[in-house]
Amino acid sequence: MNTLLVTAEIFGKDIKPVAIIALLLSLLVFGIFSFLVYKNKVKIVEQKSTVIVAINYIIAFIALVLSSVAISKYNSQGFGDLFSNNLPATLRGLAYSGLVFSLIASGMTGYLYSKWK
């Protein structure tokens, strides 16, 4: 167990900042996108963009879940064996996946903003 903590300390330096950035970005996307959906309700129905709106919400939710799981598992070392023996690589994958999904949701939000403008 001690070697797992040492390995996590050596290889896990970038997990927490990346996961926090992904979490904040996905929360920001949720807020901005919800405001855009509220302001453009009529345009969404007229342009039949309901599916794109739903997909963007799903992607932002996936980003939120991935980054929050990476943060919670990084902070609680006792649950490290739930995923695998290679905890730092798993957490790094979760954190970077959350960041990628939040960037995709940000791009879709920008696209929909320009479409509804």
Read off the amino acid at residue 76: S
Segments forming the whole domain that contains residue 41 = 2-116
Q: Is the pTM of this model over 0.85?
A: no
Helix (H) or strand (E) holding 33: helix 15-39
Number of domains in the chain: 1
Number of H helices, E strands in the chain: 5, 0
Least confident of 4-8, 50-54, 56-60: 4-8
Nearest Cα to Cα of residue 68 among 34, 19, 6: 19
pLDDT tens for each residue of 31-56: 999 999 999 888 888 888 888 889 98
Angle between helices 50-75 and 15-39 (to 10 degrees): 150
